[in-house]
Structures are given as structure tokens and as C-alpha cells.
Amino acid sequence: MTKRANGGETVVEVRGAWHGEVGDPGRVFEGGVVSSDLPGVPPGSPVTVFYRTAAARVAHPREHGSYVMQVGGRELGLMRFTCHDTGLTGHEGNDDRAEATWQAVTLPG
């Protein structure tokens, strides 16, 4: 069963981890689909998420960059990309380089 976020948004749950240090422009999340509301994106599909930044100086904070997910041969902008659990017993802190379940909510369109 797939999950829907508030308002009927399209949700893809993935399991994976970030690779690279925070602030590294080459930092990337890699994992696999656990469940998906996207047609043609079944569980097990590989997923890559990265943060695309603006090439030039920008006037507004919302223009600094955005998360982008590559899955099922598509590149989709994300409204949200949040960790839902670490799945690790006794895990302390927020080490996003440890495998965890994340929820991606795609932008409309």
C-alpha cells in the first residue's frame, strides 16, 4: 500500500542514505523505493536525490536551490524530503549517512 501526504500529494518512500559531507556540492542520496504513488515506479526501483543550487547570486531564500529526485527514468522536483526513521536500535543523533527510511513528496505537475 502506498502512502499519501496531506492534500493528496504524491509520495515516494525510499530507504537509503546520504553520501558525502553536508555542504559538499557532490553530496547525493542513494537508495531504493519502498512504496510509491508514482505510476511506473515500483518498489525496488533505484533512487538518487541531490540538491540543485542556483548558479548565480539570488535575491530570495526560496531561490537558493531545491531537492531533485531521479527515479524511473525521470527527474522530479521535491516539495519535501524528510527522514521518517533510522531503523537503528540505540542510534543517537541525526547521522543522515546511516541507512534510513525517507519520504519524498513531489512538486505538482
Find the radius of gyration of the CA atoms of the chain.
14
Residues 71-84: pLDDT tens digits? 999 999 999 999 98
Neighbours of 29 (CB within 10 A): 22
Asked whether residue 106 carries a pLDDT value surpassing 60, the answer given is: yes
| Domain locations in the chain as residue ranges | 6-106
pTM (2 d.p.): 0.79
Longest alpha-carbon distance in the chain: 43
pLDDT given for residue 86 in this prediction: 55
Mean pLDDT over 33-37 rounds to 96
